Structure 1
Amino acid sequence: MAPGKHLENTKCLPFGLRPLDFPLLLGGHQLTLVTTHQYLGVWFDQGLTFASHVRYLRERASTRLAALWYLSKRSLGALFSVLRTFYIHSIRSLVDYEAICMTGLSLPISKSLEVLQNNAIRIMLGAPPWTHLVNLHLESGLPSLTHRIALRAATITLQLVQRRPDLPISTLLKRLLGHPPEALPQRDWARTTAATIHNLGAAPSLCQDPDSPFPGFEDPPPWTPLPFHILSPSEAKPRASIPAMILQEGLSRVAALDSPGSATYFTDGSVSPDGSAGSAFVVGNLVESWRLSPGVSAFQAERAAILGALCHAHHHHHRRVIIHTDCLSSFQRLCSFSLHDNVFLLTAIYTVATLLVQRGATIILHWLPGHIGITGNERADDAAHAACSHPEITFPFLPSPSYILGALKATIGRLSREEHQLCISGGL
């Protein structure tokens, strides 16, 4: 039931019920029975088939397709990249908004929705009407809308179960994701969404526990300065420069930061092609390494190495800590501190660094280009690579949501390529 501002504007839409043979009253006013209703931009029908909404989307996108066609004319000279960007942000965004509702579309309705994107791709590529759809998807780099809806549903579900695990819908989705897809026969929204995520092979990743902050972490006020100094490569030479010059510059920066009584760490992380990961740090003659949980990203492995170096410095009460790493993105992520991704690692680094500073220590994080011949960097790199093959996992933690989303996008791309290969092998 969708109440309006006045009772005269209130309508009644019964879901999954046969037509009512009796009047429905609200406050003495007989409600008008409707078969479709628009709520928050989505057209709902009695059977939740979303057929009315797909027709609405195609009608709404028609004027935007006309604009896309006009931009594609030779007189304007719009490149394919411009046309593709216009399509993604102006046309496909209409589908992205309602994607979470449309995971259970029937095949005829799904095909009707695909026509919207197929027409747009033909305009962008200038392809003739007889071009196979799988070729259109491969040439444009755009997955089918069916795959796009599945990706959006998995993305929203991941955000929901990670950020609001206490909600009843999060609990229901996690419980359903724990069942095999054949055990989800009922076709309600939750089970359909869970089955869609199963088909992407993402159910185990979405069932994992939330990425919680490090124990004892307190979110600092936004005006609080960082507990470490970050030296970024503002004047670093490009990698295309002479290797000897890069090496000499790196050695001079390392020597300038070193001083009596300081603890100088070199850190690195590595992920092997089979998904195993390792982290390591080098300080003096000491080399420490760990094998990480499978499925973590290279950025997480780099940050785990920084965390290990900080923990070692905290345990040995060092007063001046210098950490050299070749992962620039780790520094950038630490500068823009936020608790949306890599929560455990970032809060652990922040907490341990704060404890060191409270003891009077100074922490300097310094970026060095990797693989230029600096001994400490090379030793840490070799140790991290070797840690990937350790027999046991010694530093377990969860993959980050951003890494899971990246893996989902890679899965969608793989499915598109497999469809193309199937089309070729089938002689279609």
Structure 2
Amino acid sequence: MVHPTSAARRWTPPLHLDGTPLPWRKSVRYLGLTIDARLTRGPAVKELRSQSALIASLARRFLAKGSGCSPAFCLRIYEAAATAKALYALPLVGLSRAQWNAVDKVHRGAIGQFYGLPRNSPTAATYADTHSWPVSLRAMLTALNHIERMQRSGTCGDLLAHLKAQTRSHMGAAVNQLYKLLGPPPRFPPPHQYRPPRIDAVLPGVRSKRSTPHCALRQEVASKVHQEFAGHTIVYTDGSVREEAAGAACIAPSLPAVRQLRLNTPASSLTAELAAISLAADVLAANPAVTRAAILTDSRASLQALHSPERGSRLLRIAALKLHLLGVRGCNISMQWIPSHIGVDGNEAADELARAALHPTVPLSRIVTPYDSARLALRRFVTRLHPDPRVASATAMTTIDTTRFARADYVLLLRLRTGSGWTHDRLRRHRDPPAALCAQCGSADTLEHILCVCPASSRERLALQQGPGPALQCAERGTLPGSASHQPDCRAPPPTAIHQ
């Protein structure tokens, strides 16, 4: 037990539990989080920082001075041992901005140790070029996902309403942020006794779509339909997803029936496929004479989700409820996975209808809500908060192939991409040397000047442009780190020319 005042710990009697006194402590540990008598998280953050620094020094030994594991592997070891602990204990705790900055600083220091970057390397470029995220942003995403999972359970409505009213608490702010992004929570269908239909997510004779010719895949699909679904009403479903739009469609050639809808919110591929299956259930419900039906889809994820929809999204539960009601009515439903884009006529027709459903004239869906793709929406929201504008705007970045270079060469290339090279201009900004001009031509001694302009580097620049493999295209365009048009999307140059 802890008490916020030191004087009260002297005269306040301790609490007794089953005759055992619980003495007052200056700090206690609960669920992996250390809390001091002042009811702050300072001790927990301090302990986490010291443990993370120790783990970083141990993980750095895997590098073996450039002869061991790759920096990415060492970072994975560090993430599994140190960052995972922070993401378990801190996302739901109200830390101050200074405490989060301290946690991010330790994480950024570990990245610099593994990748050979200086301590004062640019923060945004360091995260972007090492494909890392600040711990604070990852903790924010974890907290929002946790609250979304609570909302999806259907039994935490009163708790979320209480947290929403606590606007000054960290959890209350997270709940309000979730509702601001996704809107008010939707109503879920009532619980029911769900009997899943017959679901087959594999195709006999097909071990891998990638290693099987398309003609063989088409034969297996035709054999499956002919042997097991003879006399069934076949319904093909498919979904189509673009950056800010999604559509779903189904087609039943034997009825005939065609359904299309456009999703009113950015959605994942799973949401679009589930919407297509829901459309197929509507088609079968509109034809009471159908007693045997087979729904063929190219989404394994949707079939696996239909096995246990109790904890799934609202759309998943609605689709499962529709299939359950069809079974109660007497319609025998079978669901089968088929490979996509192999030339099956029904699947290709459903794919064209789903892509055509992206047109603004197609009616919007009424059953799909932003909560059905909540994880995607939350991920995009946190991505826009990334410190690097290229990552925040989802700009494609070409990565360096680490297998082509030794660690020293890779570190040099990474320093060039992040703008961490120790030129005279950068030394002047950090260490204030006496001069910041090029000794050869008197211009500002920046990285762009050395690689693109300086006449003293003309021979090395010519060797770089004529070297084997792709040259430093950004150097030829004058778009190096520090310039206004900097876009580090070039491939790695020959390291020997750069070292010269």
Give the TM interval when normalised to the shorter protein.
0.7 to 0.9
Question: Does the 8 Å contact 2:4/2:39 carry over to 1?
Answer: no
Match of 2:269 in 1: 298
Q: Distance in 1 between matches of 2:23 and 2:216?
A: 80
What letter corresponds to residue 133 of structure 2 in structure 1? P
What letter corresponds to residue 353 of structure 2 in structure 1? A
Gap runs ≥5 in structure 2: 393-417, 419-480, 487-500
What letter corresponds to residue 125 of structure 1 in structure 2? Y
Match of 1:69 in 2: 60
Pick closer, same or farther for the CA change 1:338–1:83 going to 2, 3 Å: farther
Question: Does the 8 Å contact 2:238/2:298 carry over to 1?
Answer: yes
State the Cα distance separating 1:207 from its structure 2 match.
4.7
Q: Distance in 1 between matches of 2:301 and 2:361?
A: 26
Match of 1:189 in 2: 170
Q: Distance in 1 between matches of 2:152 and 2:127?
A: 32
Question: Does the 8 Å contact 1:174/1:206 carry over to 2?
Answer: no
State the Cα distance separating 1:341 from its structure 2 match.
2.0
Q: Distance in 1 between matches of 2:157 and 2:319?
A: 29
Pick closer, same or farther for the CA change 1:405–1:85 going to 2, 3 Å: same
Alignment of 1:314-353 (within 5 A): 314-315=285-286, 316-335=288-307, 337-342=308-313, 344-353=314-323
Pick closer, same or farther for the CA change 1:71–1:381 going to 2, 3 Å: same
Deviates more, 1:113-122 or 1:71-80: 71-80
Match of 2:234 in 1: 264
Q: Is 1:307 aligned to residue 303 of structure 2? A: no
Q: Is 1:378 aligned to residue 351 of structure 2? A: no
Q: Distance in 1 between matches of 2:337 and 2:28?
A: 57
Q: Give SS of 2:238's match.
A: strand
Match of 1:144 in 2: 134
Alignment of 1:2-401 (within 5 A): 2=1, 11-13=2-4, 23-26=11-14, 36-45=27-36, 48-74=39-65, 77-107=68-98, 109-163=99-153, 166=156, 168-174=158-164, 186=168, 188-193=169-174, 198=177, 202-205=178-181, 207-209=183-185, 212=188, 214-215=189-190, 217-219=192-194, 226-230=196-200, 232-236=202-206, 238-239=209-210, 242-260=213-231, 262-284=232-254, 285-315=256-286, 316-335=288-307, 337-342=308-313, 344-388=314-358, 389-390=360-361, 392-400=363-371
Question: Does the 8 Å contact 2:239/2:249 carry over to 1?
Answer: yes
Question: Does the 8 Å contact 2:233/2:252 carry over to 1?
Answer: no
What letter corresponds to residue 209 of structure 1 in structure 2? P
What letter corresponds to residue 12 of structure 2 in structure 1? L
Q: Distance in 2 between matches of 1:37 and 1:206?
A: 37
State the Cα distance separating 1:265 from its structure 2 match.
1.0
Pick closer, same or farther for the CA change 1:243–1:25 going to 2, 3 Å: closer
Q: Give SS of 2:29's match.
A: strand
State the Cα distance separating 1:149 from its structure 2 match.
2.1
Q: Give SS of 1:12's match.
A: coil
Pick closer, same or farther for the CA change 1:249–1:208 going to 2, 3 Å: same
State the Cα distance separating 1:234 from its structure 2 match.
4.3
Which of the pair has more CA radius of gyration?
A: 2
State the Cα distance separating 1:171 from its structure 2 match.
0.7
State the Cα distance separating 1:22 from its structure 2 match.
8.8
Q: Distance in 2 between matches of 1:338 and 1:332?
A: 9
Under a length normalisation based on structure 1, what TM-score does the superposition of the two structures give? 0.76
What letter corresponds to residue 312 of structure 2 in structure 1? D
Pick closer, same or farther for the CA change 1:218–1:399 going to 2, 3 Å: farther
What letter corresponds to residue 158 of structure 1 in structure 2? E
Pick closer, same or farther for the CA change 1:326–1:170 going to 2, 3 Å: same
Pick closer, same or farther for the CA change 1:349–1:169 going to 2, 3 Å: closer
Q: Distance in 2 between matches of 1:408 and 1:77?
A: 37
Q: Distance in 2 between matches of 1:159 and 1:356?
A: 29
Question: Does the 8 Å contact 2:297/2:336 carry over to 1?
Answer: yes
State the Cα distance separating 1:55 from its structure 2 match.
0.9
Higher relative contact order (Cα pairs below 8 Å, separated by 6+ residues) = 1
Pick closer, same or farther for the CA change 1:103–1:277 going to 2, 3 Å: farther
Aligned Cα root-mean-square deviation (Å): 3.7
Q: Give SS of 2:258's match.
A: strand
Pick closer, same or farther for the CA change 1:35–1:383 going to 2, 3 Å: same
What letter corresponds to residue 139 of structure 1 in structure 2? D
Question: Does the 8 Å contact 1:270/1:278 carry over to 2?
Answer: yes
What letter corresponds to residue 156 of structure 1 in structure 2? H
Q: Deviations over 1:44-94 (max 9, x none)?
A: 246655222211112233432232122222487223343232112210012
Identity %: 20
Pick closer, same or farther for the CA change 1:257–1:204 going to 2, 3 Å: farther
Q: Distance in 2 between matches of 1:421 and 1:363?
A: 45
What letter corresponds to residue 289 of structure 2 in structure 1? H
Q: Distance in 1 between matches of 2:186 and 2:234?
A: 34
Question: Does the 8 Å contact 2:198/2:334 carry over to 1?
Answer: yes
Question: Does the 8 Å contact 1:267/1:302 carry over to 2?
Answer: yes
Pick closer, same or farther for the CA change 1:134–1:31 going to 2, 3 Å: same
Pick closer, same or farther for the CA change 1:111–1:300 going to 2, 3 Å: closer
Question: Does the 8 Å contact 2:305/2:312 carry over to 1?
Answer: no
Gap runs ≥5 in structure 1: 3-10, 177-183, 221-225
State the Cα distance separating 1:299 from its structure 2 match.
1.2
Question: Does the 8 Å contact 2:248/2:272 carry over to 1?
Answer: yes
Question: Does the 8 Å contact 2:49/2:106 carry over to 1?
Answer: yes
Q: Give SS of 1:277's match.
A: strand
Question: Does the 8 Å contact 1:49/1:105 carry over to 2?
Answer: no
Match of 1:223 in 2: none
Report how many residues are paired. 391
State the Cα distance separating 1:426 from its structure 2 match.
9.1
Pick closer, same or farther for the CA change 1:259–1:32 going to 2, 3 Å: closer
State the Cα distance separating 1:313 from its structure 2 match.
2.3
